[in-house]
Structure 1
């Protein structure tokens, strides 16, 4: 697996999973695995496009669950061909959604996998509906734990703050 900065890679075809993927929990793993499986069927490289730091850390200062090296290591275990890490900073946060679409176009995606709440661009102006105007999108359904609660990075942070490490590790798939 190769790890690259945003804007560096050009491909003749790909399947992309996009997200902050902080924690690379079971819900994130579902998005990534879906992209990897589709890439194998279509015989094109799989790409994970992620951000460092995660946007919620940048905007709201929330705790980062996985430092970038650990995140990339967990993603690599899922069989991904490339990881693109965008430096999420003030400049990146002010980019219009169209810039992101142009960048994705260089990867010639056959399909893009995202969660249903995916947003991008300045003021979160871009969403799944905008992406669908340019690319074939596969929205991965949310993943729930055995207790019926949504698996999310926010929930894992909550469990950690409450000292429930066993359940947080379970949701992370560790």
Structure 2
């Protein structure tokens, strides 16, 4: 799977899944898998837009679950055609929401798939509603484990310390 830097790729059409995807857990797999399925149906490339490091690691020092090389390998295993990996640093974090949407426009998204809590732009100024003002946005509901609890990277970070076996189950690839 080819990997590009931001603004390095222009496409005639695409279906994009956007997220930090730290861990590429079962919830992430649902977002990415939905984008891949839609892209196949539409006959255009699927693309994952992700970040290195995850924003939560940059802002709060959270543990990175999956190094970027492993994350890309796992994403490629989900059938994604290509990826954009943005280096998340101080300059990237200062970008406006409008700048991010202008970059996405270069990829000509037919659909963008995200989780309900997706935020973007400096100070998290952009949200799903703003994104949907310019693009067709599909929001994937949270995925829950067998006990009904939401699967999230934050929860997995806690479990890696307290219950590594439970963390592995939430990270399991289908």
Q: TM-score, normalised by structure 1?
A: 0.98
Alignment match, 2:69: 69
For 2:42 and 2:65, how far apart are their aligned partners in 1? 33
* Superposed displacement of residue 4, structure 1: 0.9
Alignment match, 1:166: 165
Q: Deviations over 1:11-57 (max 9, x none)?
A: 00000000000000000000000000000000000000000000000
Q: Deviations over 1:93-119 (max 9, x none)?
A: 000000000000000000000000000
* Superposed displacement of residue 127, structure 1: 0.3
4+ aligned runs moved over 6 Å, structure 1 = none
Aligned length: 173
For 2:139 and 2:30, how far apart are their aligned partners in 1? 11
* Superposed displacement of residue 165, structure 1: 1.2
Asked if 1:107 corresponds to 2:113, the answer is no
Alignment match, 1:37: 37
Alignment match, 1:14: 14
Query: 1:1-174 to 2 correspondence within 5 Å?
Result: 1-162=1-162, 164-173=163-172
For 2:58 and 2:127, how far apart are their aligned partners in 1? 19
For 1:92 and 1:71, how far apart are their aligned partners in 2? 20
For 2:124 and 2:153, how far apart are their aligned partners in 1? 19
Q: Secondary structure at the match of 1:17?
A: strand
Task: Structure 1: give runs of 5+ residues left out of the alignment.
Answer: none
For 2:143 and 2:123, how far apart are their aligned partners in 1? 26
* Superposed displacement of residue 90, structure 1: 0.3
Q: State the superposition RMSD in angstroms.
A: 0.6
For 1:33 and 1:170, how far apart are their aligned partners in 2? 18
Q: TM-score, normalised by structure 2?
A: 0.98
For 1:16 and 1:172, how far apart are their aligned partners in 2? 22
For 2:57 and 2:164, how far apart are their aligned partners in 1? 21
Task: Structure 2: give runs of 5+ residues left out of the alignment.
Answer: none
